[in-house]
């Protein structure tokens, strides 16, 4: 087995490649492509760390992995042009808008697994992540009685959410129920979806610099030390599972 790490020239993309040589058909290499998309403005904090853990899990099984940072892209959400729904149209089944997100949507179409990650802002994913979801999901959704999908394969998708709220607060406010609707839609369009909720996250390097008396810093630090590694392991395990391609 040969291992390669490639840092792409585009600053918004990190590509990690592990090539696994298989004893089949003259030793040709077979790739599993796992695409992760970071919907956080931070590229090295909780959400990004968990996404990297998931990609490390996928890479440990021989997958080709890539991480995209949405906040480094110039794009918009759905503009309601309906070109993706126009019968016999050039853009039927795909987003017609051409911007920085266009090549990412193409990568998603070719991926064997997709993992989306976002912090929770005001009870839902970030604006950038919501805009991505609009343009990733809507073109494949058919306006018929069965809500059919135009996505040609059945792949695995994951949703990783991070938030400052504790688990009981998340449930009390119904965050998990509303976010599970996204999981349901992802299942319908792509075939399979799993969510990972990471609660009570450590948000600042130095809480004393910010108005944050709502939180007990010692408890936050304790959870970061004792529980966050377990969360990262769950993300790693997700990445491992996602390399098991459906036939």
The answer to whether position 207 is within a domain reads: no
Residue 74's contacts (CB-CB under 8 Å, 6 or more residues apart) are 99, 100
- For 125, other C-beta atoms within 10 Å of its C-beta total 22
- b/e map 57-91, b = 16+ CB within 10 Å: bbbebbbbbbbbbbeebebebbeeeebbeeeeeee
The answer to whether position 174 is within a domain reads: yes
Note the pLDDT of residue 158.
98
Helices (H), 73-126: 102-110
The answer to whether position 160 is within a domain reads: yes
C-beta of residue 108 within 8 angstroms of C-beta of residue 94: no
DSSP string of 16-70, one letter each residue? EEEE-B-SSTTT-B---EEEEEE-SS-SSSHHHHHHHHHHHHHHTTT-EEEEEEG
Note the pLDDT of residue 244.
86
Q: How many domains does the chain have?
A: 1
The answer to whether position 62 is within a domain reads: yes
The answer to whether position 194 is within a domain reads: yes
Residue 87's contacts (CB-CB under 8 Å, 6 or more residues apart) are none
The answer to whether position 246 is within a domain reads: no
Note the pLDDT of residue 13.
55
DSSP string of 220-245, one letter each residue? HHHHHHHTHHHHHHHHHHHHHHTTS-
Number of residues in the chain: 247
Note the pLDDT of residue 245.
67
> Residue 197 sits in which domain range?
2-202+213-241
Q: What is the CATH number of the domain that holds 14?
A: 3.40.50.360
The answer to whether position 170 is within a domain reads: yes
Report the chain's C-alpha Rg in angstroms.
19
Residues in the chain with pLDDT < 70? Answer: 1-30, 245-247
The answer to whether position 217 is within a domain reads: yes
> What whole-number distance in Å separates Cα of residue 125 and Cα of residue 90?
31
* Residues forming a β-bridge with 114: 35, 157
Note the pLDDT of residue 12.
54
Q: Enter the pTM of the model.
A: 0.87
3-state DSSP helix/strand/coil % of the chain, to nearest 5? 35, 20, 40
Residue 99's contacts (CB-CB under 8 Å, 6 or more residues apart) are 73, 74, 75, 76
> What whole-number distance in Å separates Cα of residue 81 and Cα of residue 95?
9
């Amino acid at each position: 087995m040969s291992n390669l790490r490639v840092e792409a020239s585009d600053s918004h993309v990190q590509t990690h490649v592990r090539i696994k040589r298989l004893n089949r058909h003259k030793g040709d290499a077979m790739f599993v492509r796992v695409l992760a998309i970071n919907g956080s403005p931070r590229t090295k904090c909780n959400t990004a760390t968990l996404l990297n853990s998931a990609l490390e899990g996928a890479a440990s099984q021989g997958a080709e992995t890539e991480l995209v940072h949405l906040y480094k892209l110039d794009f918009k959400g759905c503009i309601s042009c309906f070109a993706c729904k126009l019968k016999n149209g050039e853009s039927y089944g795909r987003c017609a808008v051409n911007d920085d997100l266009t090549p990412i949507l193409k990568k998603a179409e070719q991926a064997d697994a997709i993992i989306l990650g976002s912090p929770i802002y005001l009870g839902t994913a970030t604006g950038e992540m919501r805009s991505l979801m609009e343009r990733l999901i809507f073109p494949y959704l058919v306006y018929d009685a069965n809500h059919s999908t135009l996505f040609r394969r059945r792949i695995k998708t994951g949703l990783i959410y991070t938030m400052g709220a504790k688990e009981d607060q998340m449930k009390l406010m119904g965050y998990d129920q509303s976010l599970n609707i996204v999981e349901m839609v992802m299942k319908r369009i792509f075939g399979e979806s799993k969510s990972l909720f990471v609660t009570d996250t450590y948000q600042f390097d130095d809480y004393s610099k910010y108005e944050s008396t709502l939180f007990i810093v010692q408890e936050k630090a304790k959870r970061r030390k004792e529980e966050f590694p377990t969360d990262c392991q769950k993300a790693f395990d997700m990445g491992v599972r996602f390399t098991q391609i459906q036939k």
